[in-house]
Amino acid sequence: MYNNPYFNYNSQLNLEKIDKQIADLEKLKSQMQQPAPITQNFQLAPSKEMRYANSIDEVIKEPVYGDTPFFSKDMSILWVKNGSNNVKTYELKEIIAKDEKDVKIEFLQAQIEELKKGMSNNAKSNDEYAYEPIESEKSTNVSNGRTSKKKSE
């Protein structure tokens, strides 16, 4: 069996395979010991998220890299902070959509208020004249004395 040439050939191949596998393992071992290069990419993009704050002090403390909106909890105030830490403050007011009837009602109410103002102005001006003292003036054209002519008989 050991004198068989096929046996020697197969054992030779097996030894070469084992040697090759040992070399591959040592290569992997050396690669694992060397740290892989670490690449860090920082992409500073504007934030698309909504942030909440209780006061402008919280907005000032928060670091930002681009224009970033901060809203108060009740959505009544908006702070916009930019990368250079400048803060702008805005007051928010809800706009309620109005239909035709609401617009007509507001128009009529405005007219009523306008008429009330006009009436109160007229009443005031009439009151001013009502309380003015009347001065007695004598007319130069009318004589005050009574003269009677007796009829001659």
Q: What is the pLDDT of residues 82-92, one digit of tens each?
A: 888 899 999 99
User: What is the reported pLDDT for 29?
Assistant: 84
Same domain, 58 and 85: yes
Number of structural domains in the chain:
2
Adjacency order of strands within the sheet including 51-52? 51-52, 68-71, 77-81, 87-91
What are the φ/ψ torsions at residue 134 (nearest 5 degrees)?
-95, 125
User: What is the reported pLDDT for 143?
Assistant: 56
Residue 106 lies in a domain: yes
* pLDDT higher at 2 or 32: 32
Same domain, 85 and 101: no
Tokens of 82: 């930019």
Residue 77 has pLDDT above 90, yes or no: yes
Residue 109 lies in a domain: yes
User: What is the reported pLDDT for 153?
Assistant: 46
Examine the fold and report which residue of 43, 66, 91 is the final residue of a domain before the chain moves on. 91
Give CA torsion, residues 46, 48, 52, 56, to 10 deg.
30
Same domain, 85 and 109: no
Residue 28 lies in a domain: no
Q: What integer is the mean pLDDT of 73-96?
A: 91
Tokens of 99: 């239909």
Same domain, 107 and 86: no
Same domain, 102 and 81: no
Same domain, 87 and 109: no
Domain housing 70:
51-91
How do residues 24-57 score in pLDDT, each as one tens digit? 999 888 877 766 677 877 766 655 677 889 999 9
Of 9-23, 83-97, 106-120, the range with the lowest mean pLDDT is: 9-23
Question: Which residues face 88 on adjacent strands?
Answer: 80
Same domain, 86 and 107: no
Examine the fold and report which residue of 38, 59, 91 is the final residue of a domain before the chain moves on. 91
Residue 40 lies in a domain: no
Same domain, 83 and 104: no
Highest-pLDDT range among 6-15, 92-101, 132-141: 92-101
Residue 41 lies in a domain: no
* pLDDT higher at 121 or 126: 121
